[in-house]
Structure 1
């Protein structure tokens, strides 16, 4: 008897069993991963190609750019060993194949071909703008989400669930999350499971007050805000910086040590590093940077470069630098900086409105014995403060708007609002549970934004008055440049030569000091009168006529004048841009200086050179 229902038929089918469907593979069938090239369970995730490089996430979820030759050692590192490779890409000897013995090696060529093919089928992969290092970030396309990459895990606050509700913190493994990549990196200390209390922040504010400040009311408050900002600076639209400036024995280093304890390893601490080193160490990380002993006299150019990096980091500017492969490398600066030194070196307006300078006094000799804070205790409190800042994130934007609005009401423009508003908003998040505008008038906390802003106004006003615009700095530089005297006489500044040229000289010569005026011409500078309605000469100013006269300044084609600006920020003719902003400047001029041919020039009113001195 035969047939499908007979015993023999059943035995025949049992000898040739059908493979059961792989439900796991079915589940992942739509994820874009080609199982025909790399079998399921592959510990390496192909991402794509870029030029002659393969981009993958390795077995440890590190983002790797791999050469196409795929050496054996590289494959072992990528796949976390050879067990998976031997199983899926076995290399059998003749004896092993004949005897059915298991493979003990993998076929390197087959793995290489499969990996290259898998990456090629994923198409071009460009990591720029899609790779996020350790620190805080805003989720791409969703400003309400706060992402914390902690190296070995990724926390997301405010991630919506299936119903669109923003739930609690969600933890993910490193790797690809919503088309963004968070590669595995050395671990950072995670925030505590419970947030700090407002009393903890008040204790820290009072502890900061134990140092001796020029502004004892506002400095501890702003420093508290700096600590809060440092926990999630990479996620902010604007980052404020702080400079601790004080004499030796003011306690700057001990203050930095306390802040490092609060942050744990959520910061980069250096004492002597170049801008390139800071940038390369940070990479894609958005961790705050702490620079102790940032003295300008050690290496002015190096410090200038780091300050420039901090300035760009305020707004998260993209920086492009050449790489070893002669291709541009993109770096996005999203760190806040805490400097400390005896003297700060911030003079430019665009530096002063990004950095809060907290001036310190030397500890008086009458001060009782110093009692060091318990750094272990503050390390634990710092982790709880980190958790608190995460939980306060949903109301941060509203809090920032409250403080910026109050600063604006005092007539302070954009960057002053951003810098000081951010610090005050972060301090508010540590000290209170609601934004100022959400407080009831019945609460004593109501109107605190007005009190705080009034407290810091003297500091801001002093910063504005001390900050010098590029126009002021350019004029000051030009007036201070030395011009050699004639016939071996001592060199004198341009400003001194102009004063002599405008002073009343020997009446026999018409009262004009022609020697001084000719000397200025040799350096592309000429005292002139101009016609009112057209850019043409109308003679020379009479002595002491600082109201109607102009100083004509030649273009950079005048070599003696160009040498006065060489090596400065106004080199290569940039001085024309700064001087061109002076009120009443006249452009489109053409005149002779000391040569036979006429030079292009601009003319600035002489009264702009005198400032308020006379």
Structure 2
């Protein structure tokens, strides 16, 4: 593998000096003069537009807008987000602190006070600012909110993490600053701005996450190469692929909300495979970025995440009898994959909404049951037991204070290359091998992200020929074939469930499977019981509410068919406790290709089942079997 190193020498010194310089600049002097003194020649309460036609000059509070219910949204003097529903002294103090003198100067309430007169040397009574006019403050802020567009925090607020702007650029919200990279190649520089409104989105101050490394980081200097060398020492099922996918997830975890698809990674393995050490490595690589949890719930995650796009790692996500905890967490990851909306009721019966845009990594001994919609968004990385004597055979190096920052800088500087070259290259290579769009979004994104950090040479050293697109596509397609085979289309899974069901009431104690009957109908040129005509099959299938039609009876090019009605007591029992219960199977089958599930054959679709004529969908068994076997 290409030698892993890190940034040292003058570049590292410049980066450290830039950190110190920025820290000194950020600790600026706080100024808030006496509210009785004029400001730029303007006396207290006498600014143009006072008290509510406009906000006072240099107002430290920014009014964002209001919603249709009248809640006013502001950013405070310290750039924190507030939803204002009460207009009392504590609320207004929280808005303007620490610039309380400014609030008193803008909306003063005067009162008499004894003031020392230096000219006479005596005390005399004067009108001075003693407090604020709460009603006037409220009127000014309400009026400003009414002049602004309506604001929806669920759709327009963005927290910490990576984001995409309207020019497809990358923005990093570190909590205190918004960061972007300008320039190309090695000639890039960082720009930062205070959080605020940007292109229709509101970024507000939050607890600090990492800030990007102050110097450009090359792939040779990237800590991702060292991390790749570390994770390569685990006993992966696919040593040429799984370590790369894991490093790719580290990059996509940082990218967060800037991605159009956020792949999920699930690591599995029993005792002694090194899951705990692996978690420690990832946690250090993403220090101050990732949230780690054990045995958590979906509610716990979205209450913590809210508007952030920062990643989550969940250990011990095991499925337990009688519990849906694991399934609900995986459902949340599925929603976050493409940035879906989450709405949950609150104690006051008001819904809380936000957009889930986080990356997830799970680990468990056994992955919990998942539907195809979950598996298609996930790369499952299986670990085998390590050598009991040597363990992973390498001392893992952890540099939490610099690793994440350097990789973030790589992502910021390489974002355009990632979007315009790497992602299209992997899309082309994987699409040529027949991978569908969802699989490419999952595996292609992880591979492109890994190459962005480590470079092609490091990936090829592990055995993945990323510069040979044909061979690359073949290897990834073969390596992921089993996972992708588990992600059936909805209609296909419905037919599969039907065919795996048994005919309980058949005589002689035999309970044939519906799929077995289908295979016998396809062999109708062979003698019974290996082959079966529609007449033979009909007697069996009618016991589960299905019908049978002979080959070429519907059309010359149509094979033997099984007729599925929209409703029957027997089918309701077969599909009970599935996604296709209560007749949903009928609409699911309509999602199939028109040459597999026939729906436009007129009276041929009216089939007599158990003495009742029913309009059915017809499963062409020959077309279905060819599809299931991958035969064009």
TM-score (structure 2 length as normaliser): 0.75
Counterpart in 1 of 2:415?
Answer: 393
CA contact (8 A) 2:432 2:473 kept: no
Does residue 604 in structure 1 map to residue 619 in structure 2? Answer: yes
Counterpart in 2 of 1:552?
Answer: 563
Q: Distance in 2 between matches of 1:305 and 1:203?
A: 35
Which of 35, 50, 61 is 1:44 aligned to? Answer: 61
Alpha-carbon spacing, 1:475–1:362, altered in 2? closer, same or farther (3 Å):
same
Q: Distance in 2 between matches of 1:526 and 1:410?
A: 38
CA contact (8 A) 2:505 2:543 kept: no
Look at both structures and tell me which one has the larger radius of gyration over its CA atoms.
Answer: 1
Q: Distance in 1 between matches of 2:312 and 2:528?
A: 58
Which of 167, 171, 176 is 1:142 aligned to? Answer: 167
CA contact (8 A) 2:111 2:128 kept: no
Counterpart in 2 of 1:56?
Answer: 74
Which of 183, 190, 195 is 1:169 aligned to? Answer: 190
Counterpart in 1 of 2:498?
Answer: 478
Alpha-carbon spacing, 1:423–1:450, altered in 2? closer, same or farther (3 Å):
farther
Does residue 114 in structure 1 map to residue 140 in structure 2? Answer: yes
Does residue 524 in structure 1 map to residue 540 in structure 2? Answer: no
**CA shift for structure 1 position 54:** 0.9
CA contact (8 A) 1:323 1:329 kept: yes
Q: Distance in 2 between matches of 1:498 and 1:41?
A: 78
Matches within 5 A, 1:122-271: 122-139=148-165, 141-143=166-168, 145-158=169-182, 168-197=189-218, 198-199=220-221, 200-271=223-294
1:372-408 Cα distance to aligned partner (Å, 9 max, x none):
5243x25422322222222222311212222222233
Which of 563, 572, 581 is 1:562 aligned to? Answer: 572
**CA shift for structure 1 position 135:** 0.4
CA contact (8 A) 1:475 1:609 kept: no
Alpha-carbon spacing, 1:47–1:380, altered in 2? closer, same or farther (3 Å):
closer
Counterpart in 1 of 2:34?
Answer: none
Alpha-carbon spacing, 1:243–1:42, altered in 2? closer, same or farther (3 Å):
same
CA contact (8 A) 1:96 1:102 kept: no
Counterpart in 1 of 2:609?
Answer: 593
The total of aligned residue pairs comes to 555
1:461-503 Cα distance to aligned partner (Å, 9 max, x none):
3333444333342223223446654899798765578899999
Question: Which shows bigger deviation, 455-464 or 362-371?
Answer: 362-371
SS across alignment from 1:116: helix
Does residue 284 in structure 1 map to residue 301 in structure 2? Answer: no
1:347-374 Cα distance to aligned partner (Å, 9 max, x none):
6555444322222111133435866524
Which of 75, 79, 83 is 2:101 aligned to? Answer: 83
Q: Distance in 2 between matches of 1:305 and 1:446?
A: 36
CA contact (8 A) 1:208 1:220 kept: yes
CA contact (8 A) 1:505 1:513 kept: no
Superposition RMSD in Å: 4.2
Matches within 5 A, 1:179-578: 179-197=200-218, 198-199=220-221, 200-297=223-320, 301-319=324-342, 330-345=353-368, 350-367=373-390, 372-375=395-398, 377-397=399-419, 398-432=421-455, 447=467, 453=473, 455-481=475-501, 484-485=504-505, 494=514, 520-521=541-542, 523-529=544-550, 532=553, 549-556=560-567, 558-578=568-588
Alpha-carbon spacing, 1:500–1:231, altered in 2? closer, same or farther (3 Å):
closer
Q: Distance in 1 between matches of 2:598 and 2:562?
A: 10
SS across alignment from 1:168: strand
Question: Which shows bigger deviation, 303-312 or 264-273?
Answer: 303-312
Q: Distance in 1 between matches of 2:276 and 2:472?
A: 27
**CA shift for structure 1 position 189:** 2.1
CA contact (8 A) 1:522 1:593 kept: no
**CA shift for structure 1 position 284:** 1.7
Q: Distance in 2 between matches of 1:520 and 1:410?
A: 39
Structure with the bigger RCO (C-alpha within 8 Å, sep 6+) is: 2
Alpha-carbon spacing, 1:192–1:123, altered in 2? closer, same or farther (3 Å):
closer
1:559-602 Cα distance to aligned partner (Å, 9 max, x none):
4422432332223433223434264433363344347x543322
CA contact (8 A) 1:346 1:352 kept: no
Q: Distance in 2 between matches of 1:129 and 1:304?
A: 26
Q: Distance in 1 between matches of 2:472 and 2:63?
A: 53
Q: Distance in 2 between matches of 1:271 and 1:44?
A: 40
**CA shift for structure 1 position 155:** 0.9
User: Unaligned stretches of 5+ in structure 2?
Assistant: 1-37, 116-123, 460-464
SS across alignment from 2:402: helix
Alpha-carbon spacing, 1:485–1:457, altered in 2? closer, same or farther (3 Å):
closer
Alpha-carbon spacing, 1:66–1:559, altered in 2? closer, same or farther (3 Å):
farther
Q: Distance in 2 between matches of 1:429 and 1:135?
A: 19
CA contact (8 A) 2:163 2:255 kept: yes
Q: Distance in 2 between matches of 1:372 and 1:167?
A: 34
CA contact (8 A) 2:289 2:310 kept: yes
Alpha-carbon spacing, 1:116–1:254, altered in 2? closer, same or farther (3 Å):
same
Counterpart in 2 of 1:440?
Answer: none
CA contact (8 A) 2:287 2:400 kept: no
**CA shift for structure 1 position 262:** 0.5
Q: Distance in 2 between matches of 1:477 and 1:65?
A: 50
Q: Distance in 2 between matches of 1:278 and 1:342?
A: 21
**CA shift for structure 1 position 329:** 5.2
